[in-house]
Structure 1
Amino acid sequence: MENQVRIPVRTLAEYVYKSGSIVSGFRTTSSFTEGSRIHREVQKTYSEHDQSEVFLKTEIKYEGLIFNIEGRCDGLLVNGDSTTIDEIKSTSLNLDLIDEETNLAHWAQAECYGYMYMKDQNLDIINIQLTYVQKTSGDIKRFIRTRTYGELKKVMMNMVSAFAPYARLRLENELKRDQSIKELKFPFDQYRIGQRQLAGSVYKTIQEGKTIFANAPTGIGKTISTIFPSVKAIGEGHLRKLFYLTAKTTTRQTAEEAFSQLFANGLHMKVVSITAKDKVCFTEQGICNNEHCEFADGYYDRINEAVLDILHNENTLDRLCIEKYAYKHSVCPFEFSLDLAYAADTVICDYNYIFDPKVSLKRLIDDHKKETVLLVDEAHNLVDRGREMFSSTLEKAPFLQLKREYRGRSKGIYEITKQVNDYFINIRKQAEPSKTVEFKEPLGEFNQLVLEFIDHAEKELLRESPGNSDVLLEAYFAAQNWQRISKLFDERFILYAEVGRNEVKLKQFCLDPSYLIKYAGKNFKSRIYFSATLSPIGYYMDMLGGEKEDYVLGIPSPFSSKQSQIKIQSLSTRFKDRDDSIKPIVKTLSETIEEKPGNYLIFFPSYLYLNSVLEEWNHGNPGIPTIVQGAGMTDVQREEFLESFKPGRSGSLVGFAVLGGVFSEGVDLKGDRLNGVIVVGVGLPQIGFERDLIKQHFSLTGKNGYDYAYVYPGMNKVLQAGGRLIRSEKDTGTIVLIDDRYLQHKYQNLLPDIWKGYTIF
């Protein structure tokens, strides 16, 4: 029924009663795993007549709405004629700091369960108990109240009435949304070649709740071809929500533009974009507490009104829109965007909000995931991003600094940091004269020290002492991440130490992220992995957790091989030959531009190589405008770089850039804005310790370790860079591949079919 509102007990209680300020610098809530363990420990003390994890639900009618409220109460305690609802909360706070009024949402949650049980059992009176457990000491503090059925019914009706405006707005928006989707047409007069096939495959995958790996070429319009069928699936009841996941700002903007086209065609839908905290912070300091930031101070007292306001008036909840309403209601724009993510129909955000265990959207409950699709754009990027997310590093230096800072100040911090620092020193002694040490097993003793450091650091940070340094907070977060990853550590990881003269770095390095990527996405209804360079498909299915029953789609390029002239220069760009290659590369670039003047991008495997060729190029071609990608460019500098590629230029422009950088993928220089791409090398990652670990790991599992560690990731960068050239049926241009390995069978097989009609330079 259209007026049905499904809501978990906790969501209802927190919406109505959560108050106060954001404290993002240090959060005292236990992890879900730790909280679950503490719950079980308390529940073990219950008598044989008591019950734990009791499912309760009720239906409440209010002003034309029907609220279906449900949840599991931690404890149902029965002693003769007396019944008690027990709500267990774990905390890092000192129990002396907790009283009956510390958190009204906790009482509200317990009272919801009390009302539902009384209604089911026709009880007149019940006890409501809050059980707080100090997670470090295990100490317990309880509060208990006795409530009548009439009192709890009044509490429930007050909560429902407070939630009703939000629920009604959501229902009204969903009704408008579904009606608009029924009438929504594809935003272009006709589908491009391959576009209808991709859209149909995405829809079928969602309908069947499956996973698809789609290798779809640049230029067919992948973004709209995945978004449009997903939106249609929402309108037809197959989905409630979609996440569009990106690796870079440029692809996020493409998704926003696709929704703008649908809005212009009549779509009514709430689409929120999450922008990184450091980019939207109004204070530019990122310190979220009531002392440093007026937008964090009292945030939860104002957020409901802000959410209602923006949802009532806007569909496109992008960065500018969120900042406008955040100023209006004096709320933190980043936290505002996270709260809107739970209310919106579509969320456009970075991969890490779904896959990274440090920052994922924790309030996405499994029931909602089952009605949500993940659209993973440029999915080839998720392999290395996954490795980063599931790896963790701890270094010696912060612990040595903390040992010195807290000596005579905090016995606990001083002693535990001394022990951690001593452990690092022992590793350094073991490593001499080697610079790296691999460990066959996790370091149990070290992991225990890290746990003890976390406990001591929490206690110190809770004191809110003005003398607490940023180093303590940073070390605390690093230690938490270490502990989090240590629980995931298995044969897909390796533990190693990197030792310098004064520094020791320990790293839990994820060699194969496939299992954890698959696990992070498993509870969602459907997963759509797509890219123009998901090739070889077997490698990417393997690395992204694919299974035999998953769908695989390969769409041939809609463009003619006549649109691009492909040339290969048989020249060694291997590290040992790079000095000798500089002049031939410059000669090739000069001859190419002389033959066909225009705008060119030339990509290098490293900044060092780029700068070496640039010096020679500038020496011989002072009259040709040349722009260079710099390390750490700002968004404005990147935009200026791209805007330099103007159509109809009378002369030529050369842009020097790096493979795998911001300009080698997700950049759309249509028509005459780009006339040629030159790729130096085959893109192989620099030979190094970690890449060799990846090679060894996959070799031991029966795969070609060198290809997995070097060749496939490298050639992906080449294909992405070359893909910048032909973006539509009218584009033409030249691609020059400079490396003798392009003539080898292995590399030939990895080239797109439309590149295989090459000539040798």
Structure 2
Amino acid sequence: MSKLNEIKISVRNLVEFVLRSGDIDTSFRSSTRAVEGTRAHQKVQKAQGDDYEAEVSLKHQFQYKDFRFVIEGRVDGIIDSPLAGACIDEIKSTTKPLEEIHEDYNHLHWAQAKCYGYIYCWQNNLECIDIQLTYFHLKTEESKIIRKSFNFGELESYFFDIIDKYIIWASFTAKWRLIRDASIEKLEFPFQKYRRGQRKLAIEVYRSIKDQKRLFVKAPTGIGKTISTLFPTIKALGEGHTSKIFYLTAKTITRQVAEEAFVKMRKNGLRCKTVTLTAKDKICFKEQSICEPEYCQYAQGHFNRVNEGILDILEQEDHLSREAIEAYAEKHTLCPFEFSLDLALWADTLICDYNYIFDPRVYLKRFFDTNNNDYSFLIDEAHNLVDRAREMFSATLYKSHFLDLKKIFKDQEPEIAKALNKLNAYMLKMKKLCGDGDVYTQKELTEDILYLLNRLMTESEEFLATNKNSEGHKPLLELFFECLAFTRIAEFYDERYVIYVEQENKDVKLKIFCLDPSYLLREAIKRGKSAVFFSATLSPIEYFKEILGGEQDDQTMLLPSPFPTENLCLMIASNVSTKYKDRGASYGTIVKYIETVASNKRGNYLVFFPSYKYMNDVYEDFVVQYPQFKTLIQNNIMSEEEREDFLEEFKESPHETLIGFAVMGGIFSEGIDLKGSRLSGAIIVGVGLPQICLERNIVRDYFNRINQQGFNYSYIYPGMNKVLQAAGRVIRTEEDKGVVLLIDERFNTISYKKIFPHEWRNALLTKSKIDINKKLKAFF
């Protein structure tokens, strides 16, 4: 029988999917219930006699209606008594009074146990079996057992009734795979020809997916990285080398590029279901994303309707965009966020943020609960993952949060107030370690803070579960999750971490800070079978391979620019220092250089600065000296509409020259696509070094100890990345022609030149306005 028709599913997932019903309700529940539940199971199991076997794995393989099913699960306990016969024991922990639990309390509990009973009967040739549900009360530690006898025929009928309900989905999946794979087999590259290096990239990506390897790629702007990674991965999907594709990005704009790539492939005949995951707060229909049936009609009865909604959209749509998800969620009165997560299970490709795979607090556990997932990860703009990973693997607490809540709970909840007071006192103690300075760092994470945080969470749980409209509930709930995040991140604490205390104004910050995310990223990547990290600025590539969790035998790939080098006029103004102490003296020269570049050819230009202050100061001087130019300036905070208005000013074949002032590493230096005459040049002021700060200095010191590369890892490489991203805005297609002027004496030093991309090897040195004029006249 074809492997396409093999259905693998756990008993629990099968039962919960087919029989689920009721509301979404994410109102507060004890965070320790999972741990307490495990302990409850262990207590019940240890109290049993010699005829009790705990944690028994069952696996049932069979053919039924053109499918080969593999149903797996683990039974809490099997009692095999010579006198009473066999019995399946399903253990459930509860806080509900045992007298309120009756035979019909929860049909899902019976369903799971009865499926186990059928499998056990079939495998052991039994005519009947007992099923018992053991309810263990977490507070009283008392148990209630409900036991019933079933014959094999009853259980077989029940089991196959569930299978028949699931067959609808199994049939849909099997038919869809045939349609999808047939379309992939015929699919051709959606452009008439490959750009230089593009075919080579596609071949290496395909090989990495097929061989279940990791690949690190520096592919210049304009090569077409998105289609060059997606197309071969889709081909690998159709050939069975991977079962699902995760296209991971850091920004909304790059998610849109991935969606557009699928639009192009669909025009060439591709049938592939893609889902774009949108953050809960953004896609929620309500003013506040409170998933409680009393507040939200979409949460109320969601599970009664969701399977119908899933089948509806899957039968009608291949592109499960945010707009499509919202439309079908409205049609079926579903929570759009939970709906999108369910759709992800049925989609061939997920387009989503990094955190859905890497963040230990929110990653998609529904996909990664086993180690046998043949998934492929395509990590776009992978240079962004370094700082994102450090934040995802770090956690922070503030003293003020404990103090403010202590005042609220002092009279109404003395035990909570007491726990808050102890944490406030602990933070004061940590503050004293700073002495006369603002910062104190230590290598060891003491258990004291974890004990106090767990104590607060324990004391808070009942209040949070039963007093959601009370004063202080919302801030206490937020603090609860801050504490929970801190304790969870503490589980990863090792030599790659440090803990520091910092005085911020009148507050005190305590942070578990991840210095080196490589190990945790490497472990996260193991949730799939293959991964491709790619970016135009993955340079130096060995640094990124190391810091992003690569291993020695992982492949790296450096691709040259596909565009003629003569299309880019790259100049270095090496007579200007933009170091912080010299900036005031640089304004006049920079203003003249901007005017010189902009005067040589009518067009649109972007000028990038290392800080808002530097940008604003130069901008003020420029508009006074050269009022004839049309100018724009980036604001510190810009709405989506303001960003679009800013970019809209960069028009094709402009009638007057436009100069936009922006910040390196900001919203206009990465991910924007101003093709053709929409951008004639970029002027980059400074080497992009991140602002000197505590955390970067801690990272610097750490890597100095590890490999003597601290300043490079913490400052030079991240800074140069910003420069490369900003310069990459200029040449986007084969027809583009433009200028990049790098202003800083450090660009002419060995330490920077050795990390220049290959296509920058012919950069022109210039030290005067006259020289720039001369070079630009020759170029244009």
The bucket for the TM-score relative to the shorter chain is over 0.9
Contact 2:525 2:531 in 1 (8 A): yes
Equivalent runs, 1:65-104 vs 2, <5 Å: 65-80=67-82, 81-89=84-92, 101=104, 103-104=106-107
Contact 1:560 1:754 in 2 (8 A): no
2:706 aligns with 701
2:493 paired with 1:489: yes
2:688 paired with 1:686: no
Q: CA deviation at 1:231?
A: 0.6
2:543 paired with 1:539: yes
Structure-1 separation of matches of 2:628 and 2:349: 49
2:737 paired with 1:739: no
Report the 3-state secondary structure (helix = DSSP H, G, I; strand = E; otherwise coil) of the residue aligned with 1:696.
helix
Structure-2 separation of matches of 1:101 and 1:664: 61
Structure-2 separation of matches of 1:302 and 1:363: 20
Q: CA deviation at 1:162?
A: 2.3
Structure-1 separation of matches of 2:11 and 2:438: 54
1:267 aligns with 270
Contact 1:402 1:413 in 2 (8 A): no
Cα separation, partners in 2 of 1:685 and 1:90, compared to 1, 3 Å: farther
Contact 2:5 2:66 in 1 (8 A): yes
Structure-1 separation of matches of 2:525 and 2:447: 30
Partner residue of 1:612 out of 603, 617, 623: 617
Partner residue of 1:527 out of 517, 531, 537: 531
2:216 paired with 1:213: yes
Q: CA deviation at 1:553?
A: 1.1
Structure-2 separation of matches of 1:657 and 1:94: 63
Report the 3-state secondary structure (helix = DSSP H, G, I; strand = E; otherwise coil) of the residue aligned with 1:385.
helix
Structure-2 separation of matches of 1:469 and 1:159: 42
Q: CA deviation at 1:286?
A: 1.5
Structure-2 separation of matches of 1:690 and 1:670: 37
2:585 paired with 1:583: no
Q: CA deviation at 1:133?
A: 5.3
Equivalent runs, 1:49-64 vs 2, <5 Å: 49-59=51-61, 63-64=65-66
1:389 aligns with 392
Deviations for 1:248-273, whole angstroms, at most 9, x for unmatched residues?
Answer: 01110010000111111111111000
- More moved, 715-724 vs 403-412: 403-412
1:729 aligns with 734
Q: CA deviation at 1:106?
A: 3.0
Deviations for 1:151-172, whole angstroms, at most 9, x for unmatched residues?
Answer: 3223212322222222221221
Deviations for 1:616-646, whole angstroms, at most 9, x for unmatched residues?
Answer: 2222233322222223322222222222211
Q: CA deviation at 1:665?
A: 1.4
Equivalent residue letter for 1:67: F
Deviations for 1:524-569, whole angstroms, at most 9, x for unmatched residues?
Answer: 1101111111110110011011111111111111122211111111
- More moved, 431-440 vs 212-221: 431-440
Equivalent runs, 1:317-332 vs 2, <5 Å: 317-332=320-335
- More moved, 66-75 vs 235-244: 66-75
Q: CA deviation at 1:477?
A: 1.0
Partner residue of 2:518 out of 491, 514, 520: 514
Deviations for 1:395-444, whole angstroms, at most 9, x for unmatched residues?
Answer: 11222222222223223322211211121122223333221121231120
Equivalent residue letter for 1:674: L
1:480 aligns with 484
Cα separation, partners in 2 of 1:335 and 1:745, compared to 1, 3 Å: same
Deviations for 1:300-342, whole angstroms, at most 9, x for unmatched residues?
Answer: 2211111111111100001111111011011111111111111
Deviations for 1:632-682, whole angstroms, at most 9, x for unmatched residues?
Answer: 322222222222211110211111211111221111111111100111111
Structure-1 separation of matches of 2:371 and 2:512: 32
Report the 3-state secondary structure (helix = DSSP H, G, I; strand = E; otherwise coil) of the residue aligned with 1:751.
coil
Structure-1 separation of matches of 2:18 and 2:592: 70
Cα separation, partners in 2 of 1:155 and 1:696, compared to 1, 3 Å: same
Structure-2 separation of matches of 1:92 and 1:491: 40
Structure-2 separation of matches of 1:97 and 1:668: 63
Report the 3-state secondary structure (helix = DSSP H, G, I; strand = E; otherwise coil) of the residue aligned with 1:244.
strand
Contact 2:464 2:473 in 1 (8 A): no
2:250 paired with 1:241: no
1:126 aligns with 129
Equivalent residue letter for 1:246: T
RMSD: 2.1
Deviations for 1:668-707, whole angstroms, at most 9, x for unmatched residues?
Answer: 1111111001111111111111100000111111231010
Structure-2 separation of matches of 1:92 and 1:594: 76
Structure-1 separation of matches of 2:301 and 2:269: 37
1:357 aligns with 360
2:173 aligns with 170
Q: How many residues align?
A: 760
Cα separation, partners in 2 of 1:705 and 1:41, compared to 1, 3 Å: farther
Equivalent residue letter for 1:24: T
Q: CA deviation at 1:230?
A: 0.6
Structure-1 separation of matches of 2:242 and 2:513: 36
Cα separation, partners in 2 of 1:32 and 1:219, compared to 1, 3 Å: farther
- More moved, 170-179 vs 104-113: 104-113
Cα separation, partners in 2 of 1:225 and 1:408, compared to 1, 3 Å: same
Cα separation, partners in 2 of 1:620 and 1:127, compared to 1, 3 Å: farther
1:714 aligns with 719
Deviations for 1:85-128, whole angstroms, at most 9, x for unmatched residues?
Answer: 23344567787886655543333222221211111112233333
Structure-2 separation of matches of 1:618 and 1:131: 78
2:608 aligns with 603
Deviations for 1:493-526, whole angstroms, at most 9, x for unmatched residues?
Answer: 0001112463211100000000000001113110
- More moved, 490-499 vs 369-378: 369-378
1:5 aligns with 7
Equivalent residue letter for 2:52: D
Contact 2:403 2:421 in 1 (8 A): yes
Structure-2 separation of matches of 1:29 and 1:76: 29
1:643 aligns with 648
1:628 aligns with 633
Q: CA deviation at 1:78?
A: 2.8
Q: What are structure 2's unaligned runs of at least 5 residues?
A: 767-780
Contact 2:468 2:474 in 1 (8 A): no
Cα separation, partners in 2 of 1:131 and 1:452, compared to 1, 3 Å: farther
Cα separation, partners in 2 of 1:153 and 1:365, compared to 1, 3 Å: farther
Report the 3-state secondary structure (helix = DSSP H, G, I; strand = E; otherwise coil) of the residue aligned with 2:707.
coil
1:399 aligns with 402
Q: Percent identity?
A: 47
Deviations for 1:421-471, whole angstroms, at most 9, x for unmatched residues?
Answer: 121122223333221121231120110111122222222221144205210
Report the 3-state secondary structure (helix = DSSP H, G, I; strand = E; otherwise coil) of the residue aligned with 1:287.
coil
2:769 aligns with none
Cα separation, partners in 2 of 1:184 and 1:273, compared to 1, 3 Å: same
- More moved, 310-319 vs 166-175: 166-175
- More moved, 553-562 vs 193-202: 553-562
Structure-2 separation of matches of 1:240 and 1:309: 23
Contact 2:29 2:465 in 1 (8 A): no
Structure-1 separation of matches of 2:763 and 2:188: 41
Cα separation, partners in 2 of 1:404 and 1:29, compared to 1, 3 Å: closer
Cα separation, partners in 2 of 1:31 and 1:691, compared to 1, 3 Å: farther
2:677 paired with 1:672: yes
Structure-2 separation of matches of 1:251 and 1:31: 39
Contact 1:18 1:104 in 2 (8 A): no
2:774 aligns with none
Contact 1:492 1:511 in 2 (8 A): yes
2:757 paired with 1:752: yes
Report the 3-state secondary structure (helix = DSSP H, G, I; strand = E; otherwise coil) of the residue aligned with 2:194.
coil
Structure-1 separation of matches of 2:349 and 2:33: 27
1:284 aligns with 287
- More moved, 580-589 vs 675-684: 580-589
Q: What are structure 1's unaligned runs of at least 5 residues?
A: none
